[in-house]
Amino acid sequence: MKARAFAPAKINLSLHITGQRADGYHLIDSIVAFADVGDIVTVETGKGAGLSVTGPAAQGVPADESNLVCRIARAFWPDADVHIQLEKHLPSASGIGGGSADAAACFRAMSKLFPCAAAADVTSELLQIGADVPMCVSGKPARVGGVGEILDPIDALASLPAVLVNPGIPVSTPAVFAALECRSNAAMGVLPDDMSDPASVADWLSRQRNDMQQAAIAQVPQISAVLDHIASTSGCAFSRMSGSGATCFGIYPAPADAKAAALQLAAERPDWWVCFAVLGSPRPKRMLS
């Protein structure tokens, strides 16, 4: 038996750090959307247990039990004899949920093969794998609170044409959190009445922030150049970092604008990872070449 699942890039359109719990976990208020680009996870029985990592972004990705796809498989299906193939297209340690998205995709694929083993609410168990895993398992646009476990779906979120850019430098999430100057920032407030209108959503998002951005720039100064390059492209409504970085994004009024910006940025900086994407729900499941 074989099952496949798409692991879309997770984009924090906004990310407000609103507090810190006694156990050290940070409280967030974030708008999360998913891209139509990502990794692919294939789970197959009858081939012996193990993990293989392939794809253009496979270099440096662990192919052992430390990988989150193995951790989630062993946590929920400890007796399952399965081989997991992880086809990597997204850069690692880049603020777009690559490892968490892969774990979530593995969870969905395993659930297809062994549906009874994961029937109950498993949010707390998913959080043990990673704070982003519950939202990635959902795979739907949402306002995310708590430490990542509170999901308020945004069913009618507009599709947002975007460019994703990563300078090729991994970022340590713990280091960025440690460098935060303030851990009790204001929440986002009330969302727009119409989240289906791209222009109004982009305008509202442009007035939000990522509270981790400056701390990440202190760790990786190249992030500032990425943001400036994106902002300089024609039609860019705003540019922002996703998660703890270093991937940044720009939002555009139409797909043609975003595609043109992606071509421009790729030509100007061939050493960067540049990708056109549509943010919202990852229905198209478009693969990177």
CATH number, domain containing residue 246: 3.30.70.890
CATH for 28: 3.30.230.10
Q: How confident is the model at residue 282 (pLDDT cuts 50, 70, 90)?
A: low
Q: Residue 240: which of 255, 232, 250 has the closest Cα?
A: 250
Verify that 74 and 12 share a domain, yes or no. yes
Distances (CA, A) of 78 to 2, 73, 81, 145, 190: 18, 7, 9, 30, 43
216, part of any domain: yes
**Catalytic residue ranges:** 10, 132
Domain extent, residue 143, equals 2-153
Same domain, yes or no: 20 and 147: yes
- The last residue of a domain, from among 129, 153, 177: 153
Residue type, 23: D
Phi, psi of 79 (to 5 degrees): -100, 0
| 288 has a pLDDT exceeding 50 | no
The tens digit of pLDDT for each residue in 186-221 reads 999 999 989 999 999 999 999 999 999 999 999 999
Instruction: Concatenate the DSSP letters of all residues of the chain into one string.
Output: -EEEEEEEEEEEEEEEEEEE-TTSPEEEEEEEEEEEEEEEEEEEESS-SEEEEESTT-TT---STTSHHHHHHHHH-TT--EEEEEE--SPSSSSS-HHHHHHHHHHHHHHHHSGGGG-S--HHHHHHH-TTHHHHHH-S-EEEETTTTEEEE-TTPPPEEEEEEE-S----HHHHHHT-S-S------PPPS-TT-HHHHHHHHHTS-BTTHHHHHHH-THHHHHHHHHHTSTT--EEEE-TTSS-EEEE-SSHHHHHHHHHHHHHH-TTSEEEEEEEES--S-PPP-
From 118, 153, 188, give the residue that closes a domain: 153
pLDDT at 284 over 70: no
Structure confidence at residue 281 (pLDDT): 75
Q: Are residues 41 and 180 in the same domain?
A: no
Residue 256 has pLDDT above 50, yes or no: yes
Q: How many domains does the chain have?
A: 2
φ, ψ for residue 115 (rounded to 5)?
Answer: -65, -30
State whether 104 and 192 are in the same domain: no
Q: For residue 17, is it within any domain? A: yes
Phi and psi angles of residue 45, each rounded to the nearest 5 degrees, phi first: -90, 160
**Do residue 74 and residue 186 come from a single domain?**
no
* Model confidence pLDDT, tens digit, residues 110-160: 999 998 655 568 889 999 999 999 999 999 999 999 999 999 999 899 999
Q: Which residues pair with 11 in a beta bridge?
A: 33
Whole-prediction pTM value? Answer: 0.94
Given 125, 153, 181, the domain boundary residue is: 153
Distance of CA 275 to the CA centre of its chain: 14
Interval 48-56 mean pLDDT: 95
- Over residues 64-100, the pLDDT tens digits come to 999 999 999 999 999 999 999 999 999 998 999 899 9
HEC per residue, 56-85: CCCCCCCCCCCCHHHHHHHHHCCCCCEEEE
Residue 244's pLDDT band (cuts 50, 70, 90): very high
Specify the pairing of strand 26-45 against strand 142-145. antiparallel
